[in-house]
């Protein structure tokens, strides 16, 4: 389902505001590996036609968990968060 530009812009602004306030972003990490879960991009691809892998970020743990449960990830991830605002992160 496509969403209109105004809705997407509003969600983007809410995402930015939330991560700036909380100084955290959340991502999904693969259970047996020390790497983040990648999803295929719907917009970018390599020269050979393969989709570019992207790491998705959410503004809350609840949203990341919901995305994993809703099948938005192709593997069985566990939640892992990373504070990107902390020194050395």
What pLDDT, in 10s, does the model give residues 21-53? 988 888 888 777 778 888 888 889 999 999 998
In this prediction, residues 65-70 reach a mean pLDDT of 77
Query: What is the chain's mean pLDDT, rounded?
Result: 75
Residue 88 has pLDDT above 90, yes or no: no
Residue 2: predicted pLDDT: 57
Under the banding of pLDDT at 50, 70 and 90, the label for residue 10 is: very high
How deeply is 37 buried, as exposed, middle or buried, from its count of CB atoms within 10 A (0-12, 13-18, 19+)? buried
Distances (CA, A) of 36 to 4, 5, 17, 82: 29, 29, 24, 11
């Amino acid at each position: 389902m496509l969403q209109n530009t105004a809705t997407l812009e509003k969600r983007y602004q809410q995402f930015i505001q939330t991560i700036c306030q909380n100084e955290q972003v959340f991502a999904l990490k693969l259970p047996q590996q020390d790497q983040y879960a990648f999803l295929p991009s719907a917009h970018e691809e390599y020269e050979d036609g393969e989709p570019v892998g992207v790491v998705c970020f959410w503004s809350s743990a609840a949203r990341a968990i919901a995305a994993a449960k809703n099948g938005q990830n192709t593997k069985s991830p566990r939640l892992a968060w990373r504070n990107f605002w902390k020194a050395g992160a």
